[in-house]
Amino acid sequence: MRRSIATVCLSGSLEEKLTAAAAAGFDGVEIFEPDLVVSDSSPEEIRALADRLGLSIDLYQPFRDFEGVTPDLLEANLRRARTRFEVMRRLGADTILVCSNVGTATIDSDQVSADQLHRLGDLAASYGIRVAYEALAWGTYVDDYRHSWRIVERVDHEAVGVCLDSFHILSRGHDPAAIEDIPGEKIFFVQLADAPALSMDVLSWSRHHRLFPGEGAFDLGRFVVHLARAGYDGPLSLEVFNDTFRQTDTRRTAEHALRSLVWLEDRAARLLGPTDSLSRIADVDVPTGLDYVEIKAEDTSGVEVMLDQLGLVFRGKHRTKSVRLWSAGQARIVLNEEHARDLEPHVAGVGFQVRDAAATSERARDLAVRPAARRTHAGEQRLSGFVAPSGLEVFLNGRSAGGAEPFWAEEFEHGHVASDSGVASVDHVNLAHSWEAHDEAVLFYTSVLGLEAPSATEIAGPQGLVRSQVMSNANGSVRIPMNVAPAGQTRFPEHVALRCDDVAAVARHARERGLRPLPVPANYYDDLRARFDLADDVLERLRSNDLLYDRDDRGEFRHFYTPRIGRVFFEVVERVDGYDGYGADSAPTRLAAQARLDRLVAPRSTSA
Ligand SMILES: O=C(O)c1ccc(O)c(O)c1
Ligand SMILES: [Mg+2]
């Protein structure tokens, strides 16, 4: 299907918006009238720019408060429409969006509205223009798409159809199934927006909180399926009013937007099944495991000490680069000191095991994801990689490890043989994003890697609530919890959680080697006793190792944390009997303990 975007989604001048939309790969745009009004380019110049960029102008919008009015007002509204049609002729736009009246309507009559829209249809037709009538969720008399369709049916004019906007339909909880009752050729335009589940007035929700498809709570896959079944074959156009996206970089938001549409088309295509021709069906190659985690710093020696304490083994130094590999079981940590001047330790990359790296790479290119530059020397294995929204480099290893080691591990020399230390794998990698990158990051992992985004949580930290969203594959062999860093904190830490079968043993071993785990306050254990009714000896075993504890309906979770080095720290976890969470209830304790430790290390610093 053709992909379109409303200029209102993007920041910048109209020229910048068009350029960014074209660069991201959109086929067309909706021109939001206020964007044209403030531009110093003439409609002809905008038309020429769109032509040069290969963009069609699919819609001109919005035209407000037309129908349901007194006869005098109708004549004035028709004069107003004529001036807009003149502009559209100069722009080369042939469809205008007419919103249901929210202000001047005084006559609650479908027949009156239909007659008036018929007059508008005649005028529009004389300009070769079509009118797409959209029911706004807060329209005075018409606030339901089924009602707008009843009116359009009554208008019965070839130049008058409906515009369906997923926000207005789904925000009101209206069943989108009735879209299939509308003949496809009478659906003149479709606007798509997702939104978080919020309980607030619908106008503010719409104007400030819309999201790109896949980022909110609406089932847009099903919405598009209804459109396809109705026979709609016009553009799928994004219309996302969102204060954040209007502040972020224009090109980046356009790429982000395109990614959401590709994701949605795939989603819908999968729901429709292979016989429908909605779009190409790209089955996402969901990662099967974590290949490695890369930690980068000017000096990684402190991290090495910690990995040694946790029972990982130095496996070798890279043949040509200042990169070292540590591992235990299937947990592989790559320490990178290349081009790392002045950088403190941080999570710089994650390698994923996929079945078909070439297919996933191609998909990522389709999704306008930036490739990661990676220097490879002759004879070295090439992994394809991408830059995730936080700047994290994501690499794909499509060759199955076969035996115990991935093929690239051969590039590391003069290390030790792995021993059975207790740590078996990387359980999860916890990433942090600034608030403005969070939605984009969720979409990156759903669209590029096909990870699922189960429900989000909020964790109370000393600096306020931390929004947290887990991204994972179906069997939990890939888990990426993502936190939104409190505003202004650019050094919010990220962490790597190592999984083992006996966390108390790993904790004791680490302590013997000098690790001081993150101290857990006594109050925490009093609270645990109250919450879980644990026996004294069980509590004592937890307390003596600074272990945290959780339980769900499947099993138990025991874990501990290391102090932070730079912007990274480690967690060691033991999942018993299919426990599937992350110990979210102990996260406030952890965040507070980290803040205390930070104050000890740097008494005047308040940032985490
Ligand atoms: O908020 C508005 O006024 C508005 C305008 C045009 C639209 O297409 C829409 O969905 C909302
Ligand atoms: Mg709309």
Give the range of the structural domain holding residue 78, as residue numbers without chain letter: 3-272
Which amino acid residue places its CA nearest to atom 2 of ligand 1? 207
- 148 and 162 Cβ atoms separated by less than 8 Å: yes
Q: What pLDDT shows up at residue 453?
A: 83
Model confidence at 465, pLDDT cuts 50, 70, 90, reads confident
How far is CA 458 from each of CA 107, 262, 437, 467, rounded to the nearest angstrom?
47, 29, 17, 5
CA dihedral angle for residue 497, residue 500, residue 501, residue 506, rounded to 10 degrees? -100
Q: How far is the CA of 136 from the centre of ligand 1 (A)?
A: 7
**402 with 467, same domain?**
yes
Q: What pLDDT shows up at residue 70?
A: 98
- Residue 207 CA, closest ligand 1 atom number: 1
Residue 576 in this model has a pLDDT that exceeds 50: yes
Residues with CB under 6 A from ligand 1: 61-62, 97, 99, 134, 136, 165, 191, 206-207, 239
Which amino acid residue places its CA nearest to atom 6 of ligand 1? 62
**243 with 318, same domain?**
no
What does the alpha-carbon distance between residue 130 and residue 394 come to, in Å, rounded to a whole number? 46
Model confidence at 282, pLDDT cuts 50, 70, 90, reads low
**438 with 560, same domain?**
yes
What does the alpha-carbon distance between residue 128 and residue 92 come to, in Å, rounded to a whole number? 10
Lowest mean pLDDT among 51-65, 439-453, 539-553: 439-453
Residue 604 in this model has a pLDDT that exceeds 70: no
Q: What is the ipTM of this complex?
A: 0.99
- 575 and 557 Cβ atoms separated by less than 8 Å: yes
Model confidence at 486, pLDDT cuts 50, 70, 90, reads confident
Report which DSSP code applies to 448.
T
Report which DSSP code applies to 15.
H
Lowest mean pLDDT among 449-458, 466-475, 552-561: 449-458
Whether pTM exceeds 0.90: no
- Strands of the sheet with 393-397, listed across from one edge: 384-387, 393-397, 346-353, 289-296, 331-336, 323-328, 313-318, 412-414
Which position has the higher pLDDT, 404 or 267? 267
Q: What pLDDT shows up at residue 162?
A: 98
- 436 and 248 Cβ atoms separated by less than 8 Å: yes
CATH number at residue 183: 3.20.20.150
Residue 513 in this model has a pLDDT that exceeds 60: yes
Let me know if residue 606 belongs to a domain: no
- Residue 97 CA, closest ligand 1 atom number: 8
Q: What pLDDT shows up at residue 375?
A: 61
Q: Which of 272, 297, 328 is the last residue of a domain?
A: 272
- Residue 520 burial (10 A CB sphere; 0-12, 13-18, 19+): buried
Model confidence at 278, pLDDT cuts 50, 70, 90, reads very low
Q: How far is the CA of 191 from the centre of ligand 2 (A)?
A: 6
Query: What residues pair up with 61 in beta bridges, in sequence order?
Result: 32
Residue 515 in this model has a pLDDT that exceeds 70: yes
Region 471-498 average pLDDT: 89
Which amino acid residue places its CA nearest to atom 8 of ligand 1? 62
What does the alpha-carbon distance between residue 80 and residue 144 come to, in Å, rounded to a whole number? 25
Tens digits of residue pLDDT in 202-255: 999 999 999 999 888 999 999 999 999 999 999 999 999 998 888 889 998 999
Tens digits of residue pLDDT in 286-341: 899 999 999 999 999 999 999 999 999 999 999 999 999 999 999 999 999 999 99
Q: How far is the CA of 62 from the centre of ligand 1 (A)?
A: 7
**296 with 263, same domain?**
no
Let me know if residue 476 belongs to a domain: yes
571 is in an annotated binding site: yes
Q: What pLDDT shows up at residue 402?
A: 58
- What percent of the chain is predicted at pLDDT more than 70? 95
Q: Which residue has the tokens 């905008």?
A: 46
**340 with 246, same domain?**
no
Let me know if residue 31 belongs to a domain: yes
Which position has the higher pLDDT, 370 or 168? 168
Q: Which of 238, 272, 306 is the last residue of a domain?
A: 272
Let me know if residue 282 belongs to a domain: no
Q: What pLDDT shows up at residue 381?
A: 65
**127 with 68, same domain?**
yes
Residue 491 in this model has a pLDDT that exceeds 80: no
**261 with 297, same domain?**
no
495 is in an annotated binding site: yes
Model confidence at 68, pLDDT cuts 50, 70, 90, reads very high
Residue 606 in this model has a pLDDT that exceeds 60: no
**332 with 243, same domain?**
no
Model confidence at 357, pLDDT cuts 50, 70, 90, reads confident
Let me know if residue 607 belongs to a domain: no
Q: Which of 519, 498, 589, 593 is nearest to 550 (CA)?
A: 589
Let me know if residue 277 belongs to a domain: no
Let me know if residue 238 belongs to a domain: yes
574 is in an annotated binding site: no
Tens digits of residue pLDDT in 89-105: 999 999 999 999 999 99
**558 with 529, same domain?**
yes
Residue 345 in this model has a pLDDT that exceeds 50: yes
191 is in an annotated binding site: yes
Report which DSSP code applies to 100.
P
Which amino acid residue places its CA nearest to atom 5 of ligand 1? 62
Q: Which ligand is nearest to the CA of 34?
A: 1
Let me know if residue 153 belongs to a domain: yes
CATH number at residue 329: 3.10.180.10
Pocket test for ligand 1, best of 31, 98, 99, 162 (most atoms within 8 A of CB): 99
Pocket test for ligand 1, best of 134, 202, 203, 240 (most atoms within 8 A of CB): 134
- Residue 61 CA, closest ligand 1 atom number: 6
Q: Which of 224, 243, 272 is the last residue of a domain?
A: 272
**264 with 333, same domain?**
no
| Token duo for residue 510 | 């680490």
Residue 434 in this model has a pLDDT that exceeds 80: yes
Which amino acid residue places its CA nearest to atom 1 of ligand 1? 207
Lowest mean pLDDT among 129-143, 234-248, 278-292: 278-292
Region 153-178 average pLDDT: 98
Lowest mean pLDDT among 145-159, 274-288, 435-449: 274-288
Q: How far is the CA of 497 from the centre of ligand 2 (A)?
A: 44
**248 with 343, same domain?**
no
Phi first, then psi: give them for residue 206, nearest 5 degrees.
-70, -40
Q: What pLDDT shows up at residue 337?
A: 97
165 is in an annotated binding site: yes
Residue 401 in this model has a pLDDT that exceeds 60: no
Tens digits of residue pLDDT in 14-25: 999 999 999 999
Q: How far is the CA of 134 from the centre of ligand 2 (A)?
A: 7
**257 with 346, same domain?**
no
Q: For the chain, how many structural domains are there in total? A: 2
Q: Which residues contact 49 (CB under 8 A, 6 or more apart)?
A: 15, 18, 19, 41
What is the average pLDDT value for the chain, to the nearest integer?
A: 91
Which position has the higher pLDDT, 196 or 608? 196
